[in-house]
Amino acid sequence: MPNTQRTRKTNNRNENTNNVEAPVSEQTAEKASVRRKPIIPKDIDASQFVTVRNGFQGKLVYVSKRTGETFIWEEFGSEQEMELRELRNAKNSYKTFFVNNWFMFDEDWIIDYLGVRQYYRHALPIDGFDDVFKQKPAELKKTINALSEGQKRSVAYRAKELISEHKIDSLSVITTLEKALNIELIEK
């Protein structure tokens, strides 16, 4: 990764009248299996620094409302060290960075600590981002439909790059991307 800059451093049960458990739909069962108790380390200090990666395809700039400190990520995947306290403030002041998955984390506990799991449930990891383009069209469509708007834009941007580099040349993949992202990737 290139160097980046930084200035300043009850258990509910559904029962019917015969005391037999009510049937659970597949969708409800799936949602229940997704819910889990967050695993957050016990010895967290709000002043500790954690690595934050750029999930935006391009330069990302964050300016702290609290301190005025400016954080700059030059490109997708670049890293900055930020205080957990600052990330909590960012969640309250600039929720868009989380909703769009512009802030990405290698450590899952950070997402749980910040209480933003709902925004990262379907996020593509930085290190495996290009793997989405290797999926079969049906799987690709399903994956894209689950992404945040920010990650959809990142997928579109990256797809254009890979198409121009002739690294994506499957017409079925390109057509699926165009339909799922509602954009035109190649001139027709």
Give the span between the Cα atoms of 72 and 87, in whole angstroms. Answer: 15
Give the span between the Cα atoms of 106 and 121, in whole angstroms. Answer: 14
Give the span between the Cα atoms of 185 and 25, in whole angstroms. Answer: 39
Choice between 42 and 29, residue whose per-residue pLDDT is larger: 42
**pLDDT tops 50 at residue 9:** no
pLDDT value of position 38: 61
pLDDT value of position 106: 92
Tokens standing for residue 91 = 């969640």
State pLDDT tens for residues 69-112.
999 999 999 999 999 999 999 999 999 999 999 999 999 999 99
Q: How many CA atoms lie within 13 A of 126 on its CB side?
A: 20
Give the span between the Cα atoms of 7 and 68, in whole angstroms. Answer: 10
Provide, rounded to the nearest whole percent, the portion of the chain with pLDDT above 90. 71
State pLDDT tens for residues 32-51.
344 556 677 677 888 999 99
Choice between 132 and 8, residue whose per-residue pLDDT is larger: 132
pTM of the model: 0.74
pLDDT value of position 165: 95
